[in-house]
Amino acid sequence: MKFILVNGRTPFRKTFCLWCCEEIRGGYLRDVRTLLPYCGHECYARHHEAVSSIGGLARAAS
């Protein structure tokens, strides 16, 4: 996992966490490769766990 931790700042536009859909305020994480925003480490980790499990299912199905 590679991410950027942004403390004490909010995004320029009204932005929501990719995983839980909560509005981001006062600090957030941003994925280095995709630049997608997350409200915290827990949402970032849950999203990446879900993506990796879906990837495993797709490989098993082919």
Q: What is the pLDDT of residues 27-40, one digit of tens each?
A: 888 888 888 899 98
**Which helix (H) or strand (E) segment is 46 a member of?**
helix 41-61
> Mean pLDDT, the chain, as a whole number?
82
pTM score:
0.70
pLDDT above 90 covers a percentage of the chain that reads 23
* Model confidence pLDDT, tens digit, residues 12-23: 788 899 999 999
Q: Which helix (H) or strand (E) element contains residue 5?
A: strand 3-7
